[in-house]
Structure 1
Amino acid sequence: MKVCIIGGVAGGATAAARLRRLDETAGIILFERGDYISFANCGLPYHISGRIKERGSLLLQTPERFWSRFRVKVRTGHEILTIDAPQKLLKVQNRKTSEQYTESYDYLILSPGAYPLVPPIEGSDAAIFMNLYDIPSMDAMIARIENHPVKEAVVIGGGFIGVEIAENLVARGIKTHLVEMLDQVMTPFDPEMAAIIQARLAAGGICLHLSDGVKKIVGDAPGKVVLNSGTELGADLVVSAVGVRPETRLAREAGLKIGATGGIAVDAGMKTSDPFIFAVGDAVETTHLVGGMQVLAPLAGPANKQARIAADNLCGIGSRYPGSLGTSIVKVFDLQAAATGLNEKTARKNNLPYQALHLHPLNHAGYYPGAAMMALKLLFGIPEGRILGAQCIGADGADKRIDVIATAIRAGMTVYDLEQLELSYAPPFGSAKDPVNMAGFTGGNILRGLVESVTYDQTEAMENSLFLDVRTNEEFRAGSIPQSIHIPLDELRERIHELPQDRHLIIACRTGVRSYAAYRILKQSGFKQLSNLSGGYLSYCHYTNRTPPAAGQNETGSGAGCRS
């Protein structure tokens, strides 16, 4: 069996290694048009800042090591021009010599990846305009920074790459602007969760420009960027990070089926519409595990798994790829921001009945030094309680909570199952009631009818409603939801007569825990119109872009500025 693989990095290199482990006799040729067979593209921004010091640590494999270990013939600097699927022939060009030749195959694995989008911006041909997507582009950006006086930079795009690049430019002492066309960064997160990320970016010195785009780039070293709003920004460096698109040219020209998302259509065994051609990685379309819709998942984890599955099926092992959850995480200075499954926007778009809840638990036992509050959001189906998605942001521990919930989603668990998960506990690492358990308890209370829970955005449409704040006097003075009435929880039973029974009371505390206790008191005292504000005053601040105050401090707007 002769197998040709187009493209290296996560998909192609993994497929080649797995294939060799399964079949010592197969002939394997891997074509890579670049000079590097396998590199850590997720680490590129961190070498820009020097956080990853050694450039060589980003190079995961070399052709020589791949041949020595796996007997895979690697041809870097070779580009596939065409695929003749009926004849099973590849037209190949050596990019260094321009020599062209044909290569036959019995089976073909496509791992072409995705290419960076370049926005149609006037002046984008300037030398200061750059992308970051591979080793050469990283080298070029570092050379630009080191050989020119780069004091101010503009990053276009507020997704994963844009946020990471912006943070790492700031780490180099460069004043950095982040420009995003949408009204939030990081679209896998719902707006009120993205607000936490935005506040941390601004606090870290990044100048945020939301709901705005780049109109043109003027000049070169130094230059300036003109936004659609008319704002002008100084720019010694402009980095485009507006996203990627699947690289499907070869597949299209070979007559392979392309899915509705623009990715290569594959079955669960990673086989394309041609029975002798498989495809993996960023270029393929996959099924969302929760929503069932077709999606693109340009992530390293899915690419590696798909590559193994393609190799398995070539060797008679009927492995199947179940779909993707889009589980992801990004570092935002000292915060972790992680997500899995569906967010509210996607759940609504797919007409899924759901309930959202917010929690603000500590990442480990509060009495152990260093405990920090996290923001955790969970979506679950109504009425069965099936977990649909989650988002978690915190200084530490957000990663493992999302990983647990991603596993729970994969297993088809409900909020009732989260209640009973037995997770590791010691004071430095967690709590006896882990935040994941707490999310289950909260969701279970909702489904059992013990509480009616609402998020702040839902309250705006609630008629005849009134906010009841049950925090302490000190907390209330530091900041409150406008037009709230205030009765501290510990005084509620004695002052219950002060509350109107003809109004819908929306009960709030700092996080939603004390307000739940107040809800149960009032419910069992005859009050009929009650709701608990999910996530409490902290989530209200996130929904309204306010910075939550500490006790004794006044609240402030989170702002979108930067340090001069």
Structure 2
Amino acid sequence: MKPLNIVVIGAVAGGATVSSQLRRFLPDANITVIGKDSRMGFATCGMPYVLGGLVESMDSLVSVTPELFRDKKSIDVRLRHEATEIDRPGKKVIVRDLDSGETEALPYDKLVLSPGGSARTPEIPGSPSIPVFTLRHFDDMAEFENYLERTHPQRGLVIGGGFIGVELAENFRQLGIHTELVEHHGRIMPISDPDMSGLLEQEMKENGVVLHLGREVRSVTGDRVCLDDGSEFRADFIAAAVGLVPNTELAEEAGLTIGPTGGIATDPFMRTSDPDIYAIGDAAEGRDWFTGKPKRVPLAWSTHREAFIAANHIAGGNTEMDGLLGTSITKLFSLTAGMTGMSEQMLKEENMAFKTIIHESRSNAGYFPGNGKLRLKIHYDPDTRLILGAQAVGEKGADKRIDIIATAIRGRMTMDDLAAIEIAYSPAYSSPKDPVNMAGYKSMDRPGNRTDGK
């Protein structure tokens, strides 16, 4: 059989992973990877920590190189190249060298789209004299880091209170920068429940971040920022973290179906509306674990899983992408905040009946040094008692509990099962009845009854 010609568009997390998996499954395939950035396979999630100095070098975020892929995997990686057109009838991709301007047509049998997304840049009325930064590409980080090291700014404005916004605010405070954060929602981390967001807001205030919640930037004149409530303050720079726009232009121009979330529509094997073209990562649309409705989760775990699914299917496998929980976690000063599955707002929007259990405790034995506060919140179906979602905020151990519950959801376990999970115990790590166990016990309103048929 003639070796497959496979072209991968995008060389960051999804593109690097899918090409590696393809080589593992298809040792004879001809694989070419096209990337617009100056680096490949870099860890975008680590960028705020490079700026804050917790990660010493931005080069630490680069795990692979084109030379490594060429020498170890026989994969042709072309950085600083852009795919400008997909010729579906001719099964060719038109690629332009961004440095020389030369173009080339690359034939493909299978094409994988991993174009990622572009950072949204908010419109800032007025006449600002201060720089506005976004953090999406490797060169964005390099430019931002250079500015911080060269000018040593004293005051910064963060626009956006999601994952990247709060992480940037923390890292600016670590640098001693007076930081003000503007979020148009009435709370930070609006994806989580209000009471859990409140814990994070308090942590930010205690660490010197000035919050402007439910507010918008009205104008910036010089270095003077004016909000829509009339308040004003100075800033030396603006860091915008207001989400991303999936890069679907190439797919749209090729006539591929775009789903209701704005991502490239895919089937459970990550195939687009063209069976020879696959889409993965931030620009791809999957489906929700609970509802089966279209869902786009621009996070690293889902990208890597989708990369495996696509490579496996191209190689003849039939493993499906069976739904996304949106499991996520972030560090914020002394706290960790994690979640999986449905939030209160999501459940209400879907008109799904649910009950909620909240358990507040220490992360491990209270007498053991280094224990921390932990708040665990779980939503579940009142009839089947299946777990619908969970959130945890704490000084220690939030990650462990969210990971256990994400596993329990995929295993279709009930609240009763949470009480029965035999969790490893030592005073340094847990309690004889772990917070996960306790949440299960607290949900039982009748002695010894089960409703899951086991």
By the TM > 0.5 criterion, same fold?
yes
**Using the alignment, how far apart are the partners of 1:202 and 1:155 within structure 2?**
14
Partner residue of 1:157? Answer: 160
- Displacement of 1:124 after TM fit? 7.9
Structure 2 counterparts to residues 300-339 of structure 1, below 5 A:
300-339=300-339
How far off its partner does 1:127 sit? 4.8
Q: State how far apart, in whole Å, the 2-side matches of 1:125 and 1:103 are.
A: 44
* CA 375–286 in structure 1, closer or farther in 2 if over 3 Å, else same: same
Q: Return the alpha-carbon distance in structure 1 between the equivalents of residues 406 and 320 of structure 2.
A: 19
Change (3 A) 1:18 1:154: same
> Would you say the 8 A contact 2:37–2:137 is kept in 1?
no
Q: Does the aligned pair in 1 maintain the 2:47–2:58 contact within 8 Å?
A: no
Aligned runs of 1:431-442 on 2, under 5 Å?
Answer: 431-442=431-442
Any idea what SS the aligned residue of 1:163 has? helix
Report the AA paired with residue 421 of structure 1: I
> In the alignment, is the contact (CA less than 8 A) between 1:188 and 1:339 conserved in 2?
no
For 1:22, the equivalent position in structure 2 comes to 25
Q: Which has the greater radius of gyration?
A: 1
Aligned length: 446
Q: 2:147 is paired with a residue of what secondary structure?
A: helix
What is residue 274 of structure 1 aligned with on the other side?
274
- Residue type at the aligned position of 2:367: Y
| Other-structure match for 2:88 | 85
| Corresponding residue for residue 204 of structure 2 | 201
CA contact (8 A) 1:213 1:227 kept: yes
Structure-2 separation of matches of 1:367 and 1:316: 55
Q: How does 1:252-291 map to 2 (within 5 A)?
A: 252-291=252-291
State the distance in 2 between where 1:124 and 1:201 align: 30
Moved over 4 A (4+): 123-127, 446-449
Equivalences for 1:135-174 in 2 at 5 Å?
135-174=138-177
| Contact 2:247–2:283 (Cα < 8 Å) also in 1 | yes
1:186 lines up with 2:189 in the alignment: yes
Partner in structure 1 of residue 418 of structure 2: 418
Post-superposition CA distance 1:350-369 (Å, at most 9, x none) = 01000112110210012212
Per the alignment, residue 481 of structure 1 pairs with none
Higher mean C-alpha displacement, 289-298 vs 178-187: 289-298
1:63 partner amino acid:
P
Alignment partners' CA distance in 1, 2:18 and 2:26? 12
Corresponding residue for residue 247 of structure 2: 247
Tell me which residue corresponds to 1:10: 13
Q: Distance in 1 between matches of 2:314 and 2:124?
A: 44
- 1:299-348 residue CA offsets vs partner (Å, 9 max, x unmatched): 00010010011000011011111111000001010111000000000000
Does structure 2 conserve the Cα–Cα contact (< 8 Å) formed by 1:383 and 1:447? Answer: no
Provide the rounded CA distance (Å) in 1 between the counterparts of 2:361 and 2:408.
Answer: 19
Structure 1 gaps of 5+ residues are 450-564
What secondary structure, in the 3-state scheme, does the structure 2 residue paired with 1:322 have?
A: coil
Which SS does the other structure have where 1:383 is aligned? Answer: coil
1:58 alignment partner in structure 2: 61
Match of 2:121 in 1: 118
Confirm or deny: 8 A CA contact 2:37 2:139 kept in the other structure: no
Q: Give the equivalent residue in structure 2 for 1:353.
A: 353
AA partner of residue 345 (structure 2)? K
- Name the structure 2 match of 1:34: 37
Cα shift at 1:293: 2.2
Counterpart CA distance in 1 for 2:70 and 2:103 is 23
- CA shift, 1:188, in A, is 2.2
Once residues 117 and 256 of structure 2 are traced to their aligned partners in structure 1, the CA distance between those partners, rounded to angstroms, is 17
Residue 68 of structure 1 deviates from its aligned partner by 1.1
Please state how far the C-alpha of 1:34 moved relative to its aligned partner: 1.1
SS of the aligned residue for 2:34 comes to strand
Tell me the C-alpha RMSD between the 2 structures: 1.4
TM-score normalized with structure 2 length: 0.96
Quick one: distance in 1 between partners of 2:227 and 2:107? 51
Match of 1:238 in 2: 238
Q: Deviations over 1:500-533 (max 9, x none)?
A: xxxxxxxxxxxxxxxxxxxxxxxxxxxxxxxxxx
Measured in 1, the distance between the counterparts of 2:373 and 2:346 equals 27
Letter in 2 for 1:401: R
Is the contact made by 1:385 and 1:447 (CA closer than 8 Å) also made in structure 2? no
Correspondences of 1:373-392 after superposition (within 5 Å): 373-392=373-392
CA–CA separation in structure 2 for the residues paired with 1:447 and 1:384: 16
Residue 446 of structure 1: CA displacement?
7.0
Task: Give the CA deviation at 1:370.
Answer: 2.5
Distance 1:180 1:311 in 2: 39
CA distance in 1, matches of 2:350, 2:342: 10
Unaligned runs of 5+ in 2: 450-454
Question: Which position in structure 1 is the counterpart of 2:452?
Answer: none
Residue-by-residue CA offset, 1:447-470 (whole Å, 9 max, x unaligned): 989xxxxxxxxxxxxxxxxxxxxx
Q: TM-score, normalised by structure 1?
A: 0.78
**Range with greater deviation from structure 2 (290-299 or 351-360):** 290-299
Aligned to 2:218: 215
Partner Cα separation in structure 1 for residue 381 and residue 118 of structure 2? 36
CA distance in 1, matches of 2:129, 2:354: 48
Q: 1:81 to 1:447 in 2, by over 3 A?
A: farther
Any idea what the Cα deviations from partners look like across 1:49-85, whole Å, max 9, x if unmatched?
1100122211111100111111100000000111111
SS of residue in 1 equivalent to 2:417? helix
CA contact (8 A) 1:149 1:236 kept: no
